[in-house]
Amino acid sequence: MRNIDDLARAITRHAPTSGMEGTSVPRLTLIRANQPSEPVPAVYEASLCLIAQGSKRVSLGEHSVVYDAERYLLVSVDLPLVGHVLEASEDAPYLCCKIDFDQAALADLIVADGRMGPRHDLPALAVYPGDADLIDAACRLVQLLDRPEDIAALAPLIEREILYYLLKGPHGAMLRHMASADSHLGQISRAIAAIRSRFDSHLRIEEIARAAGMSPSSLHAHFKAVTHMTPLDYQKQLRLQEARRLMLVAGANAGSAGFAVGYDSPSQFSREYRRLFGAPPRQDIERLQATERPAMAV
């Protein structure tokens, strides 16, 4: 059975430089950092994050967890988190693989299993002790990058195996709860999907509540309990993070980036950008360009 050192070697082969890269395996992302990072806000998709080397802290509001090669991170819904690489160096870089959930495969496994999680709300962000079966399967998934001709046939089978182990593990009840259409977590998941699909448009709370199948007051209370922010604050974070990406990756200026994500007022965009990222747009982008690309997702 493959172990954490095998996973580290596999990630190193396919992530030779610092940064976050998608791969030819669907829903698999590799992350490397050669030095500790500053705290970086980002929206984390529902996913499993396995660190092969180094450590990281992620925070949701005032709640923080640390994970490393002995503990994996599980995010059950898309959450606005702040990530901070704690341990990384040129000789021992931070190495991580992120596996986004295939929601259709997860739902199929839950139906086949026939059980449902408890009805009360559960934490959507959690860290659990390392699991040898998960590490072995994740290593085999990353190693498919050495054999691209096998990806189409084998990647879905390994992904399904990973989801099966998660459903058997301590977070299984949460994943079943998330898939329940009438659970609060399932409803908040639908609200998040509605916001993300139209984050650059003017959204009304009534529209988001309708998409979630909740009253506006219930949406507000349960959304804040899960994400530690209001629906409109969540939309604001999506806008600002996309504007940051447009400036950093696409070379857009602050005015055009702000307009592209739905801001009519440049001064409001600059003010809210500084509040989230700690510096005005131009200064923040110049700082990022002068340093290594941050591992922004996990």
> Is a pLDDT exceeding 70 seen at residue 178?
no
Q: pLDDT tens-digit profile of 132-168?
A: 999 999 999 999 999 999 999 999 999 999 999 999 8
In angstroms, rounded to a whole number, what is the distance separating the alpha carbons of residues 122 and 116? 13
Q: Which carries the bigger pLDDT value, residue 95 or residue 172?
A: 95
Q: pLDDT tens-digit profile of 23-52?
A: 999 999 999 999 998 888 888 888 999 999
The SS3 of residue 88 is: coil
Would you say domain 4-178 falls under CATH 2.60.120.810? yes
Q: How confident is the model at residue 115 (pLDDT cuts 50, 70, 90)?
A: low
* Contact assessment for residue 175 and residue 106, using Cβ atoms and an 8 Å cutoff: yes
The pair phi, psi for residue 42, each rounded to 5°, is -165, 160
* Contact assessment for residue 76 and residue 127, using Cβ atoms and an 8 Å cutoff: no
> Is a pLDDT exceeding 90 seen at residue 268?
yes
- DSSP state at residue 145: G
Q: How confident is the model at residue 79 (pLDDT cuts 50, 70, 90)?
A: confident
Query: What is the second-level CATH architecture of the domain 233-290?
Result: Orthogonal Bundle (1.10)
Once rounded to an integer, what is the mean pLDDT over residues 213-226? 90
- Both tokens of 216, joined, read 């506006």
Once rounded to an integer, what is the mean pLDDT over residues 92-118? 83
Ordered alpha helix ranges (H), the chain: 4-14, 103-113, 132-143, 151-168, 172-179, 184-197, 205-212, 216-227, 231-249, 254-260, 266-277, 281-290
In angstroms, rounded to a whole number, what is the distance separating the alpha carbons of residues 51 and 37? 15
What's the confidence (pLDDT) of residue 297? 47
Residue type, 193: A
Q: How confident is the model at residue 116 (pLDDT cuts 50, 70, 90)?
A: low
What's the confidence (pLDDT) of residue 250? 87
- Residues ≥6 apart with Cβ < 8 Å to 267: none
Once rounded to an integer, what is the mean pLDDT over residues 101-127? 74
What's the confidence (pLDDT) of residue 256? 95
What's the confidence (pLDDT) of residue 119? 46
Once rounded to an integer, what is the mean pLDDT over residues 269-297? 81
The C-alpha angle with vertex 234 and arms to 233 and 235, in degrees rounded to 5, equals 90
Once rounded to an integer, what is the mean pLDDT over residues 183-204? 87
Kindly state the helix (H) or strand (E) to which residue 218 belongs, with its residue range: helix 216-227
Residue ranges of the domains in the chain?
Answer: 4-178, 181-228, 233-290
Once rounded to an integer, what is the mean pLDDT over residues 103-118? 74
Mean of all residue pLDDT scores within the chain: 89
In angstroms, rounded to a whole number, what is the distance separating the alpha carbons of residues 181 and 178? 8
The total of other beta-carbon atoms located within 10 Å of residue 184's CB is 22
Q: How confident is the model at residue 296 (pLDDT cuts 50, 70, 90)?
A: very low
